């Protein structure tokens, strides 16, 4: 049997009951047998400062990205864009330019929001950021959940059956793309 495909999932919210952390948990639960999901949070990542030596938390994030076959970024939409928490971590991990762990890395994006488009505008910006780093961006449909208040519980767990089924199918599709 061949080795499982390794997918790193990075939620871009630090909130205790974050729905994006909930999406990452659901991805770990619903992944097909041949997809190994690891979730890495961003709480320990300091503000980007080029005067700092690369902090340990950043080194370990970069190592996790390098070790993964693919990365799935879960970003809240803040003011039609990516969350600052996620953008800050990406900026750290994006150095050195065009030789960073994101360069040519297979990346996909997902989001949820209380609004009707499920964070689509934020994901457009996130795709642009990934393109700026030379990442290999999943060309299929991105995974989004609109009206999150109806589909997650108060702890941020994804409870909606239809969304869970869609996520399971999506994970199978991105695993195939990563392996191709």
In this complex, which beta carbon is closest to ligand FNR, that of residue 71 or of residue 178?
71
Give the number of other CB atoms < 10 A from CB of residue 3: 8
DSSP state of 149: G
Residues 20, 15: Cα–Cα separation, whole Å: 9
| Token duo for residue 128 | 């642009």
In this complex, which beta carbon is closest to ligand FNR, that of residue 46 or of residue 115?
115
In this complex, which beta carbon is closest to ligand FNR, that of residue 19 or of residue 100?
19
Contacts of residue 163, defined as CB under 8 A and 6 or more positions apart, other chains included, come to 145, 151
Asked if omega into 123 is within 30° of 0 (cis), the reply is no
Least distance between ligand FNR and beta carbon 156 (Å): 6
Nearest to 147 by CA among 158, 131, 139: 158
Least distance between ligand FNR and beta carbon 51 (Å): 28
| Token duo for residue 154 | 């108060």
In this complex, which beta carbon is closest to ligand FNR, that of residue 18 or of residue 94?
18
Least distance between ligand FNR and beta carbon 76 (Å): 4
Residues 35, 28: Cα–Cα separation, whole Å: 9
In this complex, which beta carbon is closest to ligand FNR, that of residue 106 or of residue 170?
170
Residues 123, 120: Cα–Cα separation, whole Å: 5
Least distance between ligand FNR and beta carbon 130 (Å): 19
Bridge partners of 6, per DSSP, are 36
Least distance between ligand FNR and beta carbon 12 (Å): 7
In this complex, which beta carbon is closest to ligand FNR, that of residue 2 or of residue 79?
79
Least distance between ligand FNR and beta carbon 169 (Å): 22
Q: List interacting residues with ligand FNR (CB under 6 A).
A: 13, 15, 18-20, 76-80, 112-115, 119, 148, 156
């Amino acid at each position: 049997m061949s080795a499982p495909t390794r997918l790193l999932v990075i939620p871009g919210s630090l909130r205790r009951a974050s729905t994006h952390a909930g999406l990452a948990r659901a991805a770990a639960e619903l992944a097909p047998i041949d997809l190994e999901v690891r979730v890495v949070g961003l709480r320990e990542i300091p503000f980007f400062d080029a005067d700092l030596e690369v902090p340990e938390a950043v080194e370990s994030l970069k190592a996790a990205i390098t070790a993964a076959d693919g990365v799935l970024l879960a970003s809240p939409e803040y003011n039609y864009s990516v969350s600052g928490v996620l953008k800050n971590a990406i900026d750290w991990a994006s150095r050195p330019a065009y030789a960073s762990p994101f360069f040519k890395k297979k990346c996909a994006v997902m989001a949820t929001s209380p609004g009707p488009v499920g964070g689509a505008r934020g994901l457009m910006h996130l795709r642009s950021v990934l393109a700026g780093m030379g990442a290999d961006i999943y060309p299929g449909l991105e995974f989004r959940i609109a009206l999150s208040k109806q589909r997650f519980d108060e702890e941020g767990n994804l409870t909606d059956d239809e969304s869970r089924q869609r996520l399971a199918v999506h994970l199978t599709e991105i695993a195939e793309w990563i392996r191709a």
